[in-house]
Amino acid sequence: MRILVAMEVHEEHVRWIEEAAQGHEVVYWPVKGLVSASVSEEELAKADVIIGNVVPAQLRHARRLRWLQLSSAGADAYCKDGVMPAGAALTNATGAFGLAIAEHMTALVFAMMKKLYRYYDNQKNADWHDEGQVESVYGKTVLVIGFGDLGRQFGKRMKAMGAHVVGMRRRSGDVPTEADEMGTMDKLDEYLAKADIVASCLPNTAETYHLYTKERFDAMKKGAYFINVGRGSNVVQDDLCAAVRSGHLAGAAVDVTEPEPLPADSPMWHTPGLYVTPHVSGGYHLQATHDNIVRIAAANLRHFLAGEALENVVDFATGYKK
């Protein structure tokens, strides 16, 4: 069996993969960063297993492929008709990114609520100026839309600081320890009206495309904060800018945009109270994330070679982990 590793790996990562491979041939394609690798047709044609993200259109050359382990949580590009070879399994790296992204989200919440952005602007102008009252997470209602790994990790942190955490999922179920209550997406507008902080962790699917419109922002509580770490396609960006400019939202912070990179002439760059980071909350920016991705891949490789059920199997119909 030939295993193609199409992701950046360090010396320790190679050892983990080789141990899991149990003597099977492993080939490493040079990749830098968490990107979709462009791999030669020759290598793809020989691969039985691929670990890492390959340019989706190139998978037509991977005729022997039995299983693709993504190095990302997002799988939508691989779920389109005709991308994956017939019969090949698809798994993602759900569970690797929660720590890094939840901490990034927490930082955004405090930067806005404690007016740290304003004070930094004042510092650049040598302006010793009191910006007035700030807010606390304690006692606030935090609505986390998309309560998978990212949402749960963020909810855990907010709950620990005294917030009332509401998780939103597509289907009803038990209330996990990271939340105080759970809601379903069919009642989204009701929950938006109650939330002081709205945090979106949704993937890119037909159901989530432009979910956040003017009507949705209007449904939010006046003075609420909005955070998006899911996908830029979830948001109608002009409507978000308008909601912040009008003062209806106290602030907004996004780590994802549509498109990426965000064009220089986008009003997102220049809307006071709206803060943009260039999709950096995840990736390999935190070493623990990179390590977790490889650990997930190595564990699944062991399962695959033993004929056991894989973890993080992607549902092609939804793009979510099953």
Per-residue pLDDT tens over the stretch 195-205: 999 999 999 98
For strand 2-5 and strand 274-276, is the pairing parallel, antiparallel, or unpaired? unpaired
Report percent pLDDT > 90 for the chain.
95
218-240 tens-digit pLDDT: 999 999 999 999 999 999 999 99
**Contact status, residue 301 vs residue 3, Cβ threshold 8 Å:** yes
**Residue in the structure block whose two tokens are 């033993």:** 306
The neighbouring-strand residues paired with 3 are 26, 49
**Contact status, residue 77 vs residue 195, Cβ threshold 8 Å:** no
Average pLDDT over residues 258-280: 98
135-192 tens-digit pLDDT: 999 999 999 999 999 999 999 999 999 999 999 998 899 999 999 999 999 999 999 9
Indicate the Cα dihedral angle 214, 258, 117, 218, nearest 10°.
10
**Residue in the structure block whose two tokens are 């141990």:** 19
Q: Is 2 a catalytic residue?
A: no
Q: How many angstroms from the chain centroid is the CA of residue 269?
A: 21
Catalytic choice (279, 295, 302, 303): 279
The neighbouring-strand residues paired with 226 are 198, 252
What is the residue-averaged pLDDT of the chain?
97
Residue 221 is classified by DSSP as P
Would you say residue 317 has pLDDT above 90?
A: no
Would you say residue 252 has pLDDT above 90?
A: yes
Catalytic choice (41, 190, 207, 260): 260
pTM, 2 dp: 0.95
Q: How far apart are CA 185 and CA 29, in angstroms?
A: 41
**Contact status, residue 109 vs residue 138, Cβ threshold 8 Å:** no
Would you say residue 319 has pLDDT above 90?
A: no
Handedness of CA 43, 309, 82, 292 (dihedral sign): negative
Q: Is 260 a catalytic residue?
A: yes
Residue 223 is classified by DSSP as T
Catalytic choice (104, 231, 258, 290): 231
Average pLDDT over residues 263-290: 97
pLDDT category at 320 given cuts 50, 70, 90 is: confident
Extended beta strands in the chain, E state: 2-5, 25-28, 49-51, 67-69, 89-91, 141-145, 164-169, 181-184, 197-200, 224-228, 249-254, 274-276
Q: How far apart are CA 35 and CA 289, in angstroms?
A: 14
Q: Is 279 a catalytic residue?
A: yes
Q: Output the pLDDT for position 205.
A: 87
Residue 207 is classified by DSSP as T
Q: Output the pLDDT for position 157.
A: 98
Domains parsed from the chain with CATH numbers: 2-96+286-305 (3.40.50.720), 98-276 (3.40.50.720)
